Structure 1
Amino acid sequence: MTLVRREPLADQAAEVLLERIRSGEWPLGAKLPGETTLAPQLGVGRSTVREAIRQLAGRGILATRQGAGVFVVALDAPEDWTRTVARADVRTVIEARIAIEVEAAALAADRRTTTELRTLKKALRERETHRAGIEEHVDTDIAFHRGVVIAAHNPILLDLFDSFTPRNRQAMIEMLRARGTFGDDADHATHERLYDAIARRDRTTAATITRDHLTSLTTKLIR
């Protein structure tokens, strides 16, 4: 039996419980023993067990059901999102953008307001005037695409977009430096066509333009 010996006790107890879940001692859907059983097994008090369970519940591993007990609802804790994004390569970042921005473009065509359309137009002009420096170009490009996601009126898509914007920015800068060229007229025309599709509420064209544009970036990676 593994005992908890080091501080902080609740953190250590949570890790011991997680290891026992990972080992299969308590399968998915299983009910954990009560605090009076777990406390002596772990060598800690009942309050420490409660805190350990609270931690694992916060990580999505356990769930407390009123009047029924504590149950296993996941077999492992997902890796921290920030670390996952930070390690992603350029292709992975672009694939994630496709997953988010294609649907966002379609929703934006359906839901955009007049004010959001004006803001998007302003972002498009800013993008056009910042095509000489890589960092300025990437920043104004991201601002335009974020405007599209805002117009989708889906807070989850916006949170996802914002959560990997730092890695996306770094990846785009790396890719453009490697290519040596960026911000040409054809590329900007694509963004103008996306704006026009959203403006006329053409969700199919908006989604298609976005998918084709981002897919072309992955194609250029292997040239």
Structure 2
Amino acid sequence: MALDALRASPLVEQAAQRMRDEISGGQWEVGMKLPSETALVKILGVGRSTVREALRSLSGAGLVQARQGAGVFVIATTPHEDWATGMRRSAITDVYEVRMLVEVEAVRLAAVRRTADDIAGIRAALRHRAQAAGEGDAQFVDADIALHATVVAAAHNPVLTGLFTEFLPVLRQGLIDLVQLFDLRADRPDHGADAHAVLVDAVCAGDAEAAGGALRAELEQTLARLQRR
């Protein structure tokens, strides 16, 4: 194997990339045992700790596997994606379909479980959304998402809250693109204010059916726009 020594930093990333290249290029095939740690130190021209960190990176990506007493073996040629990375790569329409499944049920639970403090927080988030109508698209979308996140939190289910949080990066950019593409705030800067008021009133009143229906109608309308992009 003729690999050039590495010089620039960050060395761990470079070492990991060099080994990934060997795997994806077929020089190190699936089932093949990697050179020993000592050999990799010499081949790559880096320290032992750098090699170990690089191997951990490859293992975390699902490319190699250490076998007790036998060494490190190639188990795949392409890395697997974690949940967050997969979300970032997903189409916004795919994310929105799953968001509907998660959030509609969350608001139904929120209507049943909300506390007095939750109600105060939801009302405050709705007011903040209205105030953000006078700001830029990104700020308005942030205020909109904050309202939805506050309602989801009122369901008091950490798993639902965690799932919704995972949607936020891709959801935020998708909504900003949607607002700008369709110029949704041209006629009314507080676009969707009425629908959100209905949702908030239903949650605060403890009407799970009305809350779920209001949110589903809003999300279906937005999803239809996304599908026409």
TM-score range (shorter-chain normalised) is 0.5 to 0.7
CA 1:133–1:69: 2 relative to 1, 3 Å: same
* Residue 151 (structure 2) aligns with: 148
Alpha carbon RMSD of aligned pairs, Å? Answer: 4.1
CA deviation profile, 1:139-161 (whole Å, cap 9, x unmatched): 43222122123334335324314
Paired residue secondary structure (1:164): helix
CA deviation profile, 1:140-195 (whole Å, cap 9, x unmatched): 3222122123334335324314433652453244135367334578x333223333
Note if contact 1:105-1:148 (Cα within 8 Å) is conserved in structure 2.
no
What is the alpha-carbon distance in structure 2 between the residues aligned to residue 197 and residue 105 of structure 1?
Answer: 13
Q: How does 1:1-223 map to 2 (within 5 A)?
A: 1-7=1-7, 8=9, 9-23=11-25, 25-27=28-30, 30=31, 32-33=33-34, 35-36=36-37, 39=40, 42-44=43-45, 47=48, 48-64=50-66, 69-70=71-72, 72=74, 75-76=78-79, 78=81, 85=88, 92-93=91-92, 95-100=94-99, 102-110=101-109, 112-114=113-115, 115-128=117-130, 131=133, 135=137, 137-152=140-155, 153-154=158-159, 155-164=161-170, 166-168=172-174, 170-175=176-181, 177=183, 180-182=186-188, 187-199=192-204, 200=206, 202=208, 206-220=211-225, 222=228
The total of aligned residue pairs comes to 214
Paired residue secondary structure (1:156): helix
What is the alpha-carbon distance in structure 1 between the residues aligned to residue 18 and residue 166 of structure 2?
Answer: 32
What is the alpha-carbon distance in structure 2 between the residues aligned to residue 71 and residue 117 of structure 1?
Answer: 55
- TM-score normalized by structure 1? 0.67
CA 1:198–1:32: 2 relative to 1, 3 Å: farther
CA deviation profile, 1:6-45 (whole Å, cap 9, x unmatched): 2245433312321233245443xx4743625852783546
- Letter matched to residue 15 of structure 2: A
What is the alpha-carbon distance in structure 2 between the residues aligned to residue 103 and residue 11 of structure 1?
Answer: 36
Paired residue secondary structure (1:76): coil
What is the alpha-carbon distance in structure 2 between the residues aligned to residue 122 and residue 164 of structure 1?
Answer: 25
Query: Gaps (5+ residues) in structure 1?
Result: none
